[in-house]
């Protein structure tokens, strides 16, 4: 009998890359690749991590007062990150632009922007599809009529709250890459947080073509790292118990590390199929 395991992930804690919370896995694919491209980075989320969701508000989404192109496309991705952080009991923060009606950034006050995210308005609400769990800490910013504040750290309790909660690493996504995300990431770096830019969960305005590219380059230059959902553990590819393939897989005893890892990971998304063939 011939068993073919396709796309199966064998996670292992790699002693050579154990400087931070990141663990690495060898991803074995159907061509039995053992080369460098198969070394997959995985972030194990703990209570020392926090997710910072930046300004996912109606006004920054299509149809809003200051729409970020494709701004709503970050929402399902952020909902996946929320699940990951919630499962790990890690803190979740949501910043919001929260302007008084006479804010200095508005055109009527000589600023660059149309009125947006005015306190208490519909446009200032978080997008209804964003599934912020109970326990999310809301950070309101840019509330002083005389000061612009793009960063979630600017004039807020964010740094203090993170530090008192023992957070050392932050993962930042949301809107807009070239304004509030950029300034939040740069401040996080200045304040000594290990900082991950969630590349698949950000979109930018690009007032000038290239603004987003430059913003990302500046964040990286200042020590931010990029991550996407692919860099987080997938569930171990054991199919559901009622699937006959399970029996075949379970016969091979799991190593101690595999058992631990499996216990930590709950399924998200669909199970990867494990193909079996008889020969």
Q: How far is the CB of 116 from Zn ion (least distance, A)?
A: 6
Closest to ligand VGL by CB, 23 vs 105, is 105
Cα–Cα distance measured from residue 247 to residue 33, given in angstroms and rounded to the nearest whole number: 26
Helices (H), the chain: 74-87, 158-164, 182-190, 211-221, 244-250, 256-264
Of 49, 55, 154, 194, which one interacts with ligand VGL (CB under 6 A)? Answer: 55
Closest to ligand VGL by CB, 65 vs 238, is 65
Decide if residue 52 touches ligand VGL (CB under 6 A): no
Q: Phi and psi dihedrals of 49, rounded to 5? A: -110, 155
Answer positive or negative: Cα dihedral of 71, 232, 130, 138.
negative
Binding mask 203-242 for ligand VGL (x = CB under 6 A): ----------------------------------------
Cα–Cα distance measured from residue 207 to residue 215, given in angstroms and rounded to the nearest whole number: 12
Of 85, 126, 171, 179, which one interacts with ligand VGL (CB under 6 A)? Answer: 179
Q: How far is the CB of 68 from ligand VGL (least distance, A)?
A: 7
Closest to Zn ion by CB, 27 vs 215, is 215
Cα–Cα distance measured from residue 183 to residue 155, given in angstroms and rounded to the nearest whole number: 13
Q: How far is the CB of 152 from Zn ion (least distance, A)?
A: 12
Cα–Cα distance measured from residue 267 to residue 30, given in angstroms and rounded to the nearest whole number: 22
Closest to ligand VGL by CB, 129 vs 230, is 129
Of 124, 172, 180, 196, which one interacts with ligand VGL (CB under 6 A)? Answer: 180
Cα–Cα distance measured from residue 79 to residue 233, given in angstroms and rounded to the nearest whole number: 16
Q: Which residues lie near Zn ion (CB under 5 A)?
A: 97
- The residue range among 80-88, 121-129, 151-159, 176-184 that interacts with ligand VGL, by the rule CB under 6 A, is 176-184
Task: Dig out the tokens for 54 from the structure.
Answer: 């930046």
CB 161 within 8 A of CB 111: no
- Residue 176 binding result from ligand VGL, Zn ion, none, given CB thresholds of 5 to 8 Å by partner type: ligand VGL
**β-pairing verdict for 22-27 and 39-43:** antiparallel
Closest to ligand VGL by CB, 107 vs 266, is 107
Task: Dig out the tokens for 16 from the structure.
Answer: 């050579």
Decide if residue 175 touches ligand VGL (CB under 6 A): yes
* Active site residues per annotation: 55, 141, 180
Q: Which class for 266: exposed (0-12), middle (13-18), buried (19 or more C-beta within 10 A)?
A: exposed
Residues at the interface with ligand VGL (CB under 6 A): 55, 97, 105, 113, 150, 175-176, 179-180
């Amino acid at each position: 009998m011939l068993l073919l395991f396709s796309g199966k992930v064998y996670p292992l804690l790699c002693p050579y890359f154990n400087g931070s919370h990141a663990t690495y896995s060898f991803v074995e694919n159907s061509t039995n690749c053992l080369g460098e491209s198969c070394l997959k980075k995985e972030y194990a989320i703990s209570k020392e991590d926090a997710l910072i969701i930046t300004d996912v508000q109606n006004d920054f989404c299509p149809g809003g007062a200051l729409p970020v192109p494709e701004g709503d496309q970050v929402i399902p991705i952020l909902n996946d990150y929320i699940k990951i952080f919630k499962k790990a009991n890690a803190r979740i923060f949501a910043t919001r632009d929260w302007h008084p009606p006479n804010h200095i950034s508005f055109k009527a006050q000589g600023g660059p922007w149309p009125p947006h995210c005015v306190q208490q308005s519909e446009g200032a609400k978080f997008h209804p599809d964003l599934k912020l769990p109970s326990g999310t800490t809301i950070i309101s910013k840019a509330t002083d009529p005389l000061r612009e504040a793009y960063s979630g750290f600017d004039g807020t309790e964010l740094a203090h709250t993170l530090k008192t909660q023992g957070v050392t690493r932050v993962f930042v996504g949301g809107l807009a890459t070239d304004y509030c995300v950029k300034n939040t990431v740069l401040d996080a770096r200045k304040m000594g947080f290990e900082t991950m830019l969630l590349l698949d969960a950000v979109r930018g305005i690009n007032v000038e073509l290239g603004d987003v590219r430059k913003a990302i380059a500046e964040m990286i230059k200042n020590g931010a790292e990029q991550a996407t959902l692919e860099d987080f553990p997938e569930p171990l590819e054991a199919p559901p118990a009622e699937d006959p393939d399970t029996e075949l897989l379970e016969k091979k005893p799991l190593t101690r590390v595999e058992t631990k890892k499996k216990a930590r990971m709950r399924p998200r998304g669909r199970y990867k199929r494990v193909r079996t063939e008889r020969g």
